[in-house]
Amino acid sequence: MTNVTKNAKATKVQAPIVEALKKAYENPTYQFHIPGHTKGNGSLPEFKKLIGRKALCIDTTDEFDNLGTLHPATGPIKEAQELAAKAFGAKKTFFLLNGSTAGNLALAMGLTKKGQKIITNRNCHRSVLTGMIISGAEPLWLIPERFEEWGIWGYVSPEKVEEMLKTNDDVSMVWITNPTYEGVVSDIKSISAVCKRYGVPLIVDEAHACLWNFSKHLPTPALQLGADAVVHSLHKTGGSMSQSSMLHIAEDSLIDIDAVEKALKLLHTTSPSLMLLASLDAARANLDSARGRKLLERAISNAKYLRREIEKMEHIHDLKPDFGYFTDVTKVFIRADGLSGKRLESILEIDFNIEVESASDAGLLLLSNIGNTKADMEYLVKCLKKIDQAHYSDICYLEKKKHMPMLTPVIKRSLREAYYSPKETIPKELAVGRIAAEVIAECPPGIAILLPGELITEAHLPYLTDYNFIEVLK
């Protein structure tokens, strides 16, 4: 048993959904309701063996077993959301079962209307774009700094936000992704001050930053810096199960909470998984406990160790904070001289059995997680040292494929109009000069290459190697 788990046993954490689910498991009933596998009795035996009978026994949905409902929030689900709001410093927290994607869709759908303008960074996640297609709002693109050497988008400057607010008087909100996928942090405090001066709500897509609330060694969370609403993918770094996230509304938020709640109800499944909801409850309880904080400090110290070791290497470099921006220390974006990010990823995977978060043109992203041990990190360092000293060469096809477009779009039609216009599918080579009709945003990180209504140019082609055909407007 590690020190972290030993010390943790002492404190009892409050997790109402987890407790209710445990009670339901310990007091089984004869079930004549969904899910039809009925505690796994109707499941494929191989599947049951793989995930375990217990997991299938607690696979239930709301309204049964006194577990409360999600829409409207009642019972243990309501209590768990309230505890989460308290832990994250929010006025209200909504649990999300289609990731932060659901939160972003609800924010756009609930808060904006056709033709309204949203100032947002070009490297926003595709869920923000989908939200705009649903509501009919239009993006005013903020072009962040470009980190050419790293092949990634950087931070958004408050001055650019102010400039756009000054020149557009019909802006319904400002919507900033912070941090970027690679951990680059914008000055949200100043951006928030600008938004307040113009009376425009600020939404921060903090999908990758749910840990910030729980350590003073990480950047300050946007809710503490004046943002009106924030999404957190707890499943990404907070320890909940895949697909579970949270949407937090700030204490003195300018936004219409009812409108967002109504949109969430329309967008969500009517059979929410209690297992996923319990995992959100558990993740919050864990992060907010002494044990969770220790795990987080370990993740931070592991990341610092990795960065110190990289510093000693000859050919491998990590992205560090610099003039104008901070970084989240747990997101370690690295590059190796002479190797594309994709090639480095394949070396780590094939030669060392290491899986990374993602790779792009120049580099790759490693996450130092609350679940990683010091031994994991030592192994990673050992392997990077070997790569640093070996003479790997790049592989041409991996080198040529481009992943992270940093292009300024040429907009010919509105997003929604183009999405719903008559289209045709044509070979990629014939698409230059035509207007795109589909969202092309590869995951990860789900950043747009092309959007409906944008002109397709020669510059897009290196990013479209996986596409033989493209949908364009007729």
Interacting residues toward ligand PLP by CB under 6 A: 99-101, 104, 125, 127, 177, 181, 205, 207, 233, 245, 444-446
Nearest distance in Å: CB 210, ligand PLP: 10
Q: Which CB atom, from 136 or from 446, has the smaller least distance to ligand PLP?
A: 446
| Nearest residue (CB) to ligand PLP, 101 versus 279 | 101
Distance between CA atoms of 136 and 123, rounded to whole angstroms?
19
Alpha-helical regions (H) of 396-472: 396-400, 415-419
Q: How far is CA 193 from the centre of its chain?
A: 25
**Shortest reach from residue 68's CB to ligand PLP, in Å:** 23
Q: How far is the CB of 365 from ligand PLP (least distance, A)?
A: 11
Which sign, positive or negative, has the C-alpha torsion 90, 92, 96, 101?
A: negative
- Residue closest to ligand PLP (Cβ): 99
User: Smaller CB distance to ligand PLP: residue 384 or 447?
Assistant: 447
Closest approach of Cβ 30 to ligand PLP, in Å?
Answer: 36
CB of 152 to ligand PLP, least distance (A): 13
Residue with tokens 């992205």: 319
**Shorter beta-carbon distance to ligand PLP: residue 205 or 361:** 205
Residue 339 CB, nearest distance to ligand PLP (Å)? 25
- Residue labelled with tokens 């989460």: 84
Q: Which is nearer to ligand PLP, 65 or 281 (CB)?
A: 281
Report the residue number, 61 or 233, with the smaller CB distance to ligand PLP.
Answer: 233
Instruction: Pick the closer one to ligand PLP by CB: 40 or 272.
Output: 272
Q: Which is nearer to ligand PLP, 40 or 238 (CB)?
A: 238
The CA distance from 289 to 285, in Å, is: 6
CA dist., res. 147 & res. 227, Å (int): 26
**DSSP collapsed to 3 states, 162-174:** HHHHHHCCCEEEE
Alpha carbon separation from 355 to 309, 344, 345 (Å, rounded): 19, 11, 8
Q: Which is nearer to ligand PLP, 179 or 201 (CB)?
A: 179
Rounded to 5°, the CA angle 238-242-244 comes to 70
Which tokens belong to 164? 């756009």
DSSP state of 102: H
Task: Please state the closest distance from residue 183 (CB atom) to ligand PLP, in A.
Answer: 12
Q: Which is nearer to ligand PLP, 104 or 192 (CB)?
A: 104
Which region holds residue 185: left if phi is over 0, alpha if psi is between -120 and 50, else beta?
A: beta
In angstroms, give the least distance from the CB of 109 to ligand PLP: 15
Beta-bridge mates of residue 41: none
**Shortest Å distance, C-beta 8 to ligand PLP:** 27
3-class state of residue 459 by DSSP? helix
Exposure string of 52-66, with b = 16+ CB inside 10 Å and e = fewer, is eeeebbbbbbbbebe
The pair of structure tokens assigned to 6 is 């030993």
Task: Please state the closest distance from residue 370 (CB atom) to ligand PLP, in A.
Answer: 17
Distance between CA atoms of 356 and 320, rounded to whole angstroms? Answer: 19
Structural tokens at position 303 = 């990341």
Amino acid at 61: T
> What is the widest separation between alpha-carbon atoms in the chain?
66
